[in-house]
Amino acid sequence: MNRSGFFIAIYFIVYLLIQVMLFKQVVLFNTTFCFLYVAFILLLPIETNSLVLMAIAFLLGFFIDIFYDSLGLHALSLVLVAYLRNYWLGTITPQGGYDAGEGPTLAVNGLQWFMVYTVPLVFVHHFILFFTEASGFRIFWFTMLKVITSLMFTMTVMLFLQYFSFERRR
């Protein structure tokens, strides 16, 4: 295993533990979840092979599911995000392309680009997650409320962490 592989493994475990030990307990107003673990897939290096990406996403989702007792649910949503990610990255390539070896982070590409990159993907993840769990559109508006509020919560935490690591890097 090379150096970056090692770091990715560490991050994998950190994101998993933070999700199941901290954010599993933090649910605001009974509707607002924080699924920060999506950030792990979104922030992997740009040139990551999409097969590898999906495999990692499946593993992470699977482990999260074990803790949430919802086998298959988080894995399904996260694999979808992993699949869409590289296409989306290709679509929104900034002028001049990406710098080699950089992650798709806020520090490198700026806030506007970062929002355009993350918000739709996180939305897709939450949308699929909640509607699959509700097994359909029976309680559409309540589920939609969950999707939107959780999107805001997840994005807030993600941005906060991005700024945090941004400051540290300089």
* Binding-site ranges for other proteins (CB under 8 A): 17, 20-22, 24-25, 27, 30-31, 33, 50-51, 54, 58, 61-62, 65-73, 75-76, 79-80, 83, 86, 130, 132-135, 139, 142
Nearer to other proteins, 71 or 115 (CB): 71
- We find the least distance from the C-beta atom of residue 55 to other proteins, in angstroms, to be 8
| Least gap, CB of 94 to other proteins (angstroms) | 23
Nearer to other proteins, 36 or 107 (CB): 36
Give the count of beta carbons closer than 10 Å to the beta carbon of residue 153: 21
Collapsing DSSP to helix, strand or coil, 39 comes out as helix
Name which of 92, 97, 57 is nearest 78 in CA terms. Answer: 57
SS3 (DSSP) at 167: helix
Containing 106, the helix (H) or strand (E) segment is helix 106-109
CB of 114 to other proteins, least distance (A): 24
Which CB, 145 or 159, lies closer to other proteins? 145
Residues 55, 50: Cα–Cα separation, whole Å: 8
Torsion from C-alpha of 114, 48, 76, 145, nearest 10 degrees: 0
CB of 108 to other proteins, least distance (A): 25
Reduce the DSSP state of residue 28 to 3 states and report it: strand
CB–CB of 82/62 below 8 Å?
Answer: no
* CB closer to other proteins out of 68 and 98: 68
Residue 9 or 27: which CB sits closer to other proteins?
27
What is the nearest approach in angstroms of other proteins to the Cβ of residue 118?
Answer: 20
